[in-house]
Each structure stands twice: as C-alpha cells, then as structure tokens.
Structure 1
Amino acid sequence: MAYDFQVVIDTGDPHPLADWWADALGWKVERQEEAFIREMIEKGYAGEDETTVHNGALVWKSGAAIRHPDGLERAPRVLFQLVPEPKRVKNRVHLDIRVGAGKIDEEAARLTAKGAKELHRGRQGPNWWVTLADPEGNEFCLS
C-alpha cells in the first residue's frame, strides 16, 4: 500500500517562511479562508489568540502551507508549523532542489539575496551542489 505525505518544517514564524519558500520554489502559498476561521471562532472551536494577520488577511497562527502550482499530484504539500523553540542543530532531513547544473550559481545568488546563507559546496564525480540555509537556518541543497 502506498501513502501520500506532506513535508513539515518547524519554524518560529510560519507565514513569512512559507512566503520565502513559495518564492524560492516558484510555488503558491495556500490561501486560508478568513470566513472559515471566523466561523470556527464564533462556534467556540478556536480563539482569537490562535490567529494572526499576515499580508492583511486573518490566518491561523500555527501554520502556513505551500504547494506546487500543478497541485498535489505533482509534488507533496509543504507545511510550515509554528514551534516555540529555535532551530539548534543540523537538519536530519533536508530538501534537494534540482535546478540543473547550469543554474545552480544563479539560483544560489538569487536565494542568498533574499536571505539564504551559503553553507558549503560539494561534489561527487561530475555532480555538484550548493548547500544553503533558509532565513531560519534550515539547510537545503541546490543541484
């Protein structure tokens, strides 16, 4: 039996990090329905303290998600989940973003200009990659 999955990234500030990753990947941030959020508050299922305003819209404070423009059939959803503690050690799992050997330097420059930090460059035979960290320090590779 095969299962679907989503990737979850812990973060101290889900909405700006989701925006950053959506831009980095060319994906879309999932829209959160303000009417649904207000209905959940009115019915007592949630409190105002569980919401925040991001880019002028009421959203759930606990998370934000992005998805490939072609939908979940193309790639799994990525959820950015609010956690109280900051990142302290190296990721045990990371994303490898395949941009093609001819675009690695260009994409690394674009993402560092938007707040990523280059950590190192690696090579294995004819293949090479750049390891970066997003604005919260989560490692990922461009290959």
Structure 2
Amino acid sequence: MTTDMPSGPVGPAYGLQLCVDSARPHELADWWAEALRWEVEPQDEEFIRRMVTEGQASNAKTTTHRGRLVWASGTAINPPGQADGAGDQPRIVFQAVPESKSVKNRVHWDLREPGADDQRRTGELQRLIDLGATQVGSGRQGPWSWTVLQDPEGNEFCL
C-alpha cells in the first residue's frame, strides 16, 4: 500500500495545549500550578466585565476565584515566566464539565525532574502527597522506577 503523504515536516511544529476536564477547574489549576511549580494564567477582569456589559456573556458565565472575577468555564496554567499562554509554549487548560471522572485515564502525565536522585524524589513524592495527591501504585522497568499518583480529582500521573 502506498500513500501520498509528504516526507518530512511541512510547516512549523505545533505548540501543545492539554485540556483537562474538571469538576472544579480553578481549584484544580491552582493545585497543578503548585505541583508543577507553574503559574496560573491571569484572566482580564476588565475584559470579562466588558463582555457581560456588551451582552456577549452573562454573569452566569463568570465566577469569583481568590477574590478575582474569572470565567466560570475554566482557566489555564503555564510554565514560569510564560503566563501569556503563547501558542508555541506548553499550556494546560482546566475546563468545567458536569460529569465526574469514572474510569482510568487513557493519557497521564509523567513528572520528570531533571537530575533527581532517590532522596530528592522521595522528598518530591512527600511534597505532592502533602499538597493532596494520593499514591496508588508504583512500577519499575530496568533501572527506572516510578510512583503512580492521583491528583485531587482522581487524574493519574507518575513521578
């Protein structure tokens, strides 16, 4: 079978944005920002107010989180110093959904700390548990080992 697919990249590489369904997106974004040492992307309160005033959105589409007016539908986090959510930088969006998580994730995150030794990994594991992660398993393949955890809403990730 032959294909007419071009060989090699065509055009610029995509930026990556992951979207996470959540019952409480602002709280989960806060948790992941702390866990990853990232930053919650700021939302423009004046823009939100203007959208409501102009009839482009209703007050029901907004909420207050940590004393600030935000979109109720969700928020995003970015690596440090990249809080503008630039399209070529990684970004994680937490979006509100009505249903709860019911099965194992088909995709999960591996947190990889450069140069982490066993002592540092143990300290990091404890930090994540102290933040509210739940340890649910572990694995090993050759010289590599990992710990399986869940975030406060039950999403799996590995350290």
Q: Secondary structure at the match of 1:120?
A: strand
> In terms of mean alpha carbon deviation, does 55-64 or 66-75 score higher?
66-75
Which one-letter code corresponds to 1:140 in the other structure?
F
Which one-letter code corresponds to 2:92 in the other structure?
V
> Identity over aligned residues, as a percent?
52
Match of 1:117 in 2: 134
TM-score, with normalisation over the residues of structure 2? 0.85
Please say which structure displays the higher CA radius of gyration: 2
Report how many residues are paired. Answer: 142
Q: 2:74 aligns with which of 20, 40, 63?
A: 63
Q: 1:83 aligns with which of 88, 97, 101?
A: 97
Which one-letter code corresponds to 2:132 in the other structure?
G
Q: Secondary structure at the match of 1:132?
A: strand
TM-score, with normalisation over the residues of structure 1? 0.94
Seen in structure 2, the aligned counterparts of structure 1 residues 40 and 73 have a Cα distance that, compared at 3 Å, is: closer
Q: Which runs of 5+ in 1 are unaligned?
A: none
Cα deviation for residue 111 of structure 1 reads: 1.0
**CA distance in structure 2 between the partners assigned to 1:80 and 1:24 by the alignment:** 15
RMSD: 1.5
**CA distance in structure 2 between the partners assigned to 1:109 and 1:67 by the alignment:** 23
**CA distance in structure 2 between the partners assigned to 1:124 and 1:116 by the alignment:** 23
**Can you list the C-alpha shifts for 1:63-93, whole angstroms capped at 9, x where unaligned?**
1100001425885100001000000000001
Q: 2:29 aligns with which of 1, 15, 18?
A: 18
> In terms of mean alpha carbon deviation, does 13-22 or 97-106 score higher?
97-106
